[in-house]
Amino acid sequence: MPKITDENYLVKTVHATEWQDVLSTGTTEPMLILALDAESGERDSYVVKPFGHPRIYRQAVMKECLGAWIAMELGLNAFEPVYIEVSTDFADTLRGNPHYQRFTESIGLNFGTKYVPGTIPIVGPKCFSKIQASQAEQITAFDLFISNADRREGKPNLLMVQSDLFVFDHELAFDFMLMLSFNRNLKPWELGEMELTMLRKHFLYPKLRGTQVDIHDFIERFTGIDDHFWAKASNLLPPDWVSDDLATIQNHLALIVENRTIFAQQLAQAILI
């Protein structure tokens, strides 16, 4: 997986040319579309989450990008964010399509990823055997780090691509942003009631419960989420998706990075008991 801190990393911008399908398994009804990469001249399939949906707003798509970029930086497999330009010409081609209105409310850049064909869904506990313990440990630690309660039973937001496990769908991550600042955990490296509930509801928790996890090396990778990472993220995001929320997220995660040893110990303890 590339990392946004790689020297020449760029986010691809592609231009929507043809609507193909709605992915109704997702609550935000992402769309499968064809889009043109003007640089390479190639037309490919992409999954776009157009803005015209109540759950897709600027902070949400910023969180989608940050979640994927943090996963990539930590060495997890994630669908790489792509910016999908929706033009009025494209929206006009959809007159009569039930999703026309959604696209008219999404003119400009939208969040998307390149469509990966042939993925194998991860659904119930019977899929646990396909997942290595180390992958489960790392993804669980990642979700607790980014405060993501949206990988749970019935909604794993995990897919297998060949034999690799991919994480996606991070628009509900950093959920401390939804709380008033004085209600937030001031010591987020210590697992409070909210974090323990998040852990116990995590899709992978039943696989790990009662085991001795080995996350020490993985937790050291958190140091890659440093000032350079955040500066790069801020530069890569479309300017109108960025707000003060970015600094709030950066500061919250920096506390966990600084106190990662305690975070890892508490997480290991909570999984063991």
Ligand X SMILES: Nc1ncnc2c1ncn2[C@@H]1O[C@H](COP(=O)(O)OP(=O)(O)O)[C@@H](O)[C@H]1O
Q: Is 50 in the site for ligand X (CB under 6 A)?
A: no
Q: Answer with the entry of ligand X, Mg ion, none that 28 interacts with (C-beta below 5 to 8 A by kind).
A: ligand X
| Number of Cβ within a 10 Å radius of residue 2 | 12
Q: Is 116 in the site for ligand X (CB under 6 A)?
A: yes
Q: Residue 25 in 3-state DSSP? A: coil
**From candidates 17, 28, 59, 93, binder to ligand X by CB under 6 A:** 28
Q: Is 248 in the site for ligand X (CB under 6 A)?
A: no
**From candidates 3, 5, 12, 26, binder to ligand X by CB under 6 A:** 26
| The CA-based dihedral angle spanning residues 189, 194, 196, 200, taken in that order and rounded to the nearest 10 degrees | -140
Phi (first) and psi of residue 164, to 5 degrees = -100, 140
Structure tokens belonging to residue 212: 């001795």
State the Cα–Cα distance between residues 140 and 1, nearest whole angstrom: 19
**From candidates 1, 26, 128, 236, binder to Mg ion by CB under 5 A:** 26
**From candidates 5, 59, 119, 185, binder to ligand X by CB under 6 A:** 119
Cβ of residue 226: shortest distance to ligand X, in angstroms? 27
**# residues contacting Mg ion (CB under 5 A):** 3
Q: Answer with the entry of Mg ion, ligand X, none that 115 interacts with (C-beta below 5 to 8 A by kind).
A: ligand X
Q: Is 47 in the site for ligand X (CB under 6 A)?
A: yes
The residues pairing with 14 across neighbouring beta strands, listed in sequence order, are: 84
Q: Residue 77 or residue 250: which is nearer to Mg ion going by CB?
A: 77
Q: What is 77-110 written as a DSSP string?
A: EEPPEEEEEE-HHHHHTTTTSTTHHHHHTT-EEE
**# residues contacting ligand X (CB under 6 A):** 18
Cβ of residue 61: shortest distance to Mg ion, in angstroms? 14
97 Cβ contact partners less than 8 Å away, ≥ 6 residues apart: 19
Q: Is 59 in the site for ligand X (CB under 6 A)?
A: no
State the Cα–Cα distance between residues 138 and 125, nearest whole angstrom: 18
Cβ of residue 7: shortest distance to ligand X, in angstroms? 25
Which residues of the chain form contacts with Mg ion (CB under 5 A)? 26, 157, 169
